[in-house]
Amino acid sequence: MDWGQSEGKLRALAARGLSASQIANQIGGVTRSAVIGQMKRRGIDLRNKRGGRHDTVAELPVPVVAEPEPAPEPEPVAEPSPEPVTTLALARGQCKWIVTEDTPFLHCGARAPHGPYCAEHRARAVSKSHRDAA
């Protein structure tokens, strides 16, 4: 197919509002994709002029953004146990924060219901990691 000779025909068929498939059938021997490619290269507008489905743009639903939930209330800071405990004496639910700098290592030992540390040491651990990240 010599597209140079068919440019006028392409423009006329597109102006009538035919689809690329219909134009391909009218010309004969070419595919819909070939018609689309040629029209794009030549700057011919292929939009449906008759107001068909090519002119309409589907409206997308607007996503609803939920308000962020308020931050949970901070737990009250508990005082560390006045008597540190050794590693061997630590029981489940006791704070594992090391309170000595040399051996024997002693741990806080305060009540730790939500993880390895009591509320005070958990707050210190989180604060320290946030400082390091910044």
72, HSE (Cβ side, Cα atoms, 13 Å): 3
Q: What pTM was estimated for this model as a whole?
A: 0.36
Spatial separation of the C-alpha atoms in residues 23 and 12, rounded to whole Å? 10
Residue 7 resides in a domain: yes
The count of domains in the chain is 2
Domain that holds residue 27: 3-42
Residue 51 resides in a domain: no
Residue 64 resides in a domain: no
Q: What is the pLDDT along the chain (134 residues), one digit of tens a residue?
A: 677 777 788 888 888 888 888 888 888 888 999 988 988 888 887 765 554 444 445 677 777 888 888 877 765 554 555 688 998 988 888 999 999 888 888 999 898 888 899 888 888 888 655 555 55
Output the CA torsion 114→116→119→123 (10° steps): -120
Q: What angle do CA 46, 49, 51 make, to 5 degrees?
A: 120
The whole-number pLDDT of residue 96 equals 92
Spatial separation of the C-alpha atoms in residues 47 and 18, rounded to whole Å? 9
The whole-number pLDDT of residue 131 equals 55
